[in-house]
Structure 1
């Protein structure tokens, strides 16, 4: 019978499996010989020890050739009995490990059929006891059958548990991949929204000043080109997450890039002030990226929708939490109207919520404000 090719396991797993096989081989050898000697076998070297050595040696390769090991083990037991030796251990127990291992393969029906044949032969071989001691005969046959059923059931249970663990691992991998794709979609949205807002403003400036002030138009186009180039680099880094591994991507924008972000907004005609309190160097990487993206998306919304001339960015770096507030003097929303939450605000809210924080956005006297409160990982309230 051809065996399925063995699956390659990590080195620690293979090392543990090798130790397990050696241990089972040694236990089979020791217990089989010990039971034989305790049952009155006087010449163990004439059959008992050779069979025990064969059964133990076969277990060393049970994972690679499970069905072959089972058939050879049963063959050895048959040869032992047919040459006139008596086995106090019965027919099934000496091949117990081989039966269990073979039951973990797709050929479990063959294993059950082989075991049934062996049980029938065992019942026939032990029939001499039936007339003198029916109870003993019944216990012997039922015990052999029960042991076989337990071994096959254990093999099936083990296989089912391994498959469930693999499926669980695959489910976890798919969940992590979905979370990563969601994160990337947020990043892509933030990059594109900011870029379109700044580039759009600069293109309008270039179009308005092209005839009266070519130099100003050229400067606006150069700035739009610079912003576009940085956005393309960010997008290539993000798309690489979907193609390769995150370890191969460029570092994400963080607090060190806030200056460039503010400069872009100022160049687009928005008067932006940045007020920071505390030490930004103490902020972990994940909250730092979230802060950057909240500021980026808020300024992009201000440029696209608010019609504002001024914006204030205030960041407070406290030991236990970080507060980010972006306010502008734009038109906001009409009195009594609800804030329409598009992809930008929803993405910011999800990003902040994922870190255990809270984001609020809405009209304030004289404009519109976005506020994010983000706890620092490991801090206690």
Structure 2
């Protein structure tokens, strides 16, 4: 069975929709009364006006109870035609009710109600056959065509609503996947850097504990400090997840790169930081990306490359930021087995900002270089 749009549980109707319902109700009242007057009805209060008001009031709740509105509207038309002679049609006065009900999952019932109404109207107007067969055919076939158009329009509207819902769901899933990917990058960057630095300090402590206990104790204290900072960063990230998308937490930026360099230097790695240009022109998103790239590159250097020296060069230009991390090791690529989560995370960060990332062997060792475009400061 084909899937059809089914209204969700009743919810507060938005103001534009409520205004549209009021306008449609007023239009129905005016048209029904106008047609009655044009057809020669002398006393509109004796039938047409009460019918028009009743149909108009029903349209105010058509979104909440579409089938109920349709049934009551059709019943009112039957009562009107039984009580008063009228040249007015059977379908067009309740067009809005048919359209609304046809957009629900009960479209078959809507069609059955419409067909029953058309059959009755055809029988009721049989006296016209002897006088004007053409008029009779126009009367019956015209209302049949109108009913088909209203049901088709309701189905098309329901289909468009379903398509819109699917697009919104797809957008929601894409945003959720993007958020999960961002969270995974943050967790990886924090944990990978922490494990790399802590691992170096633990190795130092293990080697020195017998002969130089003071040096071993200092290495353990440094490892503990790095671990505590990582726990704080993870707690902040988890707090954001618990509190929802409106929660904010300060992200490390260019000012925190010096701390990364200091942590790497404490492990015995010689790190030279060279910043060129004015960092104040760099937007926050690019600043966080540069920090994470330096963090991941230094973590990989400590874990995999066997390097003793590394240079970090950051060039701030009017249209871009270039960051290059070059070490004298034998290369890494997240363990030497291909692109792991860290390198993938760097590529995704840079790509999201419209930049480029190159990673691979260099003349003096191994290099990571990213170029991230930024807004021009010139008008």
- Compute the TM-score of the two structures, normalised by the length of structure 1: 0.91
Q: What displacement does 1:301 show?
A: 1.3
Please say if 1:352 is aligned against 2:350: yes
Cα distance in 2 between the residues matched to 1:282 and 1:57: 61
Alignment match, 1:181 = 180
> Does the 8 Å contact 1:237/1:249 carry over to 2?
no
Alignment of 1:187-198 (within 5 A): 187-198=186-197
Q: Distance in 2 between matches of 1:379 and 1:92?
A: 65
Displacement of 1:344: 2.5
Structure 2 residue 34 is matched with structure 1 residue 31: no
1:91-170 equivalent positions in 2, closer than 5 A: 91-170=90-169
Question: CA 1:247/1:216 → structure 2, altered by over 3 Å: closer, same or farther?
Answer: farther
The residue that corresponds to 1:46 in the other structure is 46
- Name the counterpart of 2:278: 279
Identify the residue that residue 7 of structure 1 maps to in structure 2. 10
More displaced stretch, 120-129 vs 248-257: 248-257
- Contact between 2:10 and 2:64, CA under 8 Å: does it hold in 1? no
Query: Offset at 1:346?
Result: 2.8
The aligned runs of 1:306-325 (5 Å cut-off) are: 306-325=305-324
Aligned to 2:3: none
Distance 1:26 1:255, change over 3 A: same
Distance change (3 Å), C-alpha of 1:231 and 1:23: same
Provide the secondary structure at the position in 2 that maps to 1:222: helix
CA deviation after TM superposition for structure 1 residue 236, in Å: 3.0
Instruction: Report the CA distance between 1:309 and its aligned residue.
Output: 1.6
SS at match of 1:140: helix
- The match for 1:361 among 359, 362, 369 is 359
Alpha-carbon deviation of 1:363?
2.2
Distance in 1 (CA, whole Å) between partners of 2:376 and 2:38 is 63
2:318–2:375 CA contact under 8 A, matched in 1: no
In 2, Cα distance between equivalents of 1:155 and 1:304: 63
Determine the C-alpha separation between the residues in 2 that align with 1:353 and 1:377: 16
The answer as to whether partners of 2:271 and 2:310 remain within 8 angstroms in 1 is: yes
Distance 1:81 1:277 in 2: 88
- Whether the 8 Å CA contact 2:331–2:366 is kept in 1: the answer is yes
1:240 shift after superposition: 4.8
**Paired residues of 1:339 and 1:362 also in contact (CA < 8 A):** no
Q: Secondary structure at the match of 1:330?
A: coil
Indicate how the Cα distance of structure 1 residues 271 and 340 shifts in structure 2: closer, same or farther if over 3 A, else same: same
Q: Which runs of 5+ in 1 are unaligned?
A: none
Secondary structure in 1 matching 2:14: helix
Worse-superposed segment, 201-210 or 342-351: 342-351
Indicate how the Cα distance of structure 1 residues 192 and 214 shifts in structure 2: closer, same or farther if over 3 A, else same.
same
Alignment RMSD (CA, Å): 2.1
When residues 177 and 241 of structure 1 are mapped into structure 2, their CA distance, relative to the original with a 3 A threshold, is farther
Q: Deviations over 1:172-199 (max 9, x none)?
A: 1101111121222222222222111100
Q: What is the distance in 1 between the residues matched to 2:295 and 2:363? A: 22
Maintained 8 Å contact 1:287/1:376: yes
CA contact (8 A) 1:238 1:249 kept: no
Aligned-residue offset at 1:319 = 1.4
Measured in 2, the distance between the counterparts of 1:122 and 1:293 equals 75
Per-residue CA deviation, residues 279-309 of structure 1 (Å, 9 max, x unaligned), is: 2222112111110111011111111122222
Tell me how far 1:249 sits from its aligned partner: 4.7
Residue of structure 1 equivalent to 2:207? 208
Counterparts of 2:340 and 2:58 in 1: how far apart (Å)? 67
- TM-score after normalising by structure 2: 0.92
Tell me what 1:331 maps to: 330
User: Are 1:84 and 2:87 an aligned pair?
Assistant: no
Deviation at 1:238, TM superposition (A): 3.5
Give the deviation of 1:243 after TM superposition. Answer: 4.8
CA distance in 2, matches of 1:138, 1:287: 72
| CA drift at 1:347 | 2.4
2:246 counterpart SS class = helix
Question: What corresponds to 1:251 in structure 2?
Answer: 250
The number of residue pairs the alignment matches comes to 370
